[in-house]
């Protein structure tokens, strides 16, 4: 038997805020709010302990965001690569990375270091989400 589905779980302080950020980044959608709640804002006000979203095409993994008491203190051991430059090289790839960065910064992302192509790896741009979790524009 092989695993056919998986989800990526984020530990965070504000699950709805972080989850909504990633919905915007990836074009994901949240499920309807749990029974007894009209909106996710209502869930957040009363519980705020989790949020989930998924790829509307059903291809990408489900993302799950759970509240934890401790804050982030060190670099992520796992991160997401947001693949906006696939198949592009040189200036065309850099332009795609910069354009996506410009879209994400107003959503709360923080720009990090631009790593230029080195003969083995293509250029990528390190970033952080709204709670400081690292990810790459690749």
Helix (H, G, I), strand (E, B) or coil at 25: helix
Domain boundary residue among 19, 36, 67?
67
Residue 117: give the domain boundaries: 80-137
Domain boundary residue among 67, 88, 105?
67
Residue 106, pLDDT score: 98
Residue 85, pLDDT score: 93
Residue 57, pLDDT score: 96
CB 137 within 8 A of CB 88: no
Residue 126's contacts (CB-CB under 8 Å, 6 or more residues apart) are 112, 113, 114, 115, 134, 135, 136
pTM for the structure as a whole: 0.86
Q: Are residues 94 and 62 in the same domain?
A: no
Residue 54, pLDDT score: 95
Distance of alpha carbon 76 from alpha carbon 49, whole angstroms: 21
Which portions of the chain are predicted below pLDDT 70? 48
């Amino acid at each position: 038997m092989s695993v056919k589905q998986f989800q990526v779980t984020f530990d965070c302080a504000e699950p709805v805020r972080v989850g909504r950020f990633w919905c915007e980044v990836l074009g994901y959608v949240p499920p309807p709010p749990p029974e007894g709640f009209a909106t996710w804002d209502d869930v957040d006000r009363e519980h705020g302990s989790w949020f989930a979203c998924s790829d509307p095409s059903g291809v990408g993994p489900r993302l799950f965001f759970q509240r934890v008491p401790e804050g982030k203190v060190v670099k992520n051991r796992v991160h997401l690569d947001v693949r906006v430059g696939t198949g592009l090289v040189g200036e065309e790839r850099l332009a795609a990375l910069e354009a996506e960065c410009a879209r994400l910064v107003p959503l709360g992302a923080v720009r990090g270091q631009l790593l230029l192509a080195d003969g083995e790896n293509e250029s990528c741009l390190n970033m952080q989400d709204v709670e400081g979790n690292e990810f790459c524009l690749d």
